[in-house]
Amino acid sequence: MDTPWLDRRELRTWIRLRAVLELLPGVLDAQLRNDADLTEFEYYTLAMLSEAPGRTLRMTALAQQTNATLPRLSHVVSRLERRGLVERFPCSEDRRATNARLTGAGWTKVRQAAPGHVGTVRRHVVDALTDEQIDQLAAIGDALLATLDPSGRMSAVYTRYDEARDAEPGA
């Protein structure tokens, strides 16, 4: 089989994307650890719960929204439980399932952490781009997600702020 090697332009693009994928998570994690004593994944878990109805999700739904395995998510939720930020309890509709709910302290924590996190995202991503580049990056994300998530398993997570959804009643 002949490998279609990357040409110089494609390689330049790939290496830059790879660098962003390596550097950005560390920047986000460092800010959250320093300012809120949370890892980026802990913050994302709290944020997903904060946006859920009743600030509660089944662990399986939370795992899907955070793209985590159940064992990894369970470990992180255990840490958050020990800190009083999340509580787990049996699901009333299906006693075999477990729900995770953001506590009052968790809601306070995510609200306190959000401004610093948003500031970091703005400083390192949004403000570095023009309005046109913001739209281009969204289109690039859609193109990549079409191959990375062809079934759309995670589409509810990455399309929830799309303009068409904003126009829907109750959005």
- Domain membership flag for residue 93: yes
Percent of the chain clearing pLDDT 90 (strictly above): 84
Strand segments (E) across the chain: 56-58, 86-90, 98-102
Structurally, the chain folds into a number of domains equal to 1
pLDDT digits (tens, 9 = 90+) for 35-67: 999 999 999 999 999 999 999 999 999 999 999
- What pLDDT score was predicted for residue 168? 45
- Domain membership flag for residue 64: yes
> Domain range holding 43?
37-107
- Domain membership flag for residue 124: no
Q: How far apart are CA 72 and CA 86, in angstroms?
A: 15
Q: Using an 8 Å Cβ cutoff, are 113 and 36 in contact?
A: yes
Reported pTM: 0.88
Q: How far apart are CA 3 and CA 22, in angstroms?
A: 26
pLDDT digits (tens, 9 = 90+) for 91-139: 888 878 999 999 999 999 999 999 999 999 999 999 999 999 999 999 9
Q: What is the CATH number of the domain that holds 56?
A: 1.10.10.10
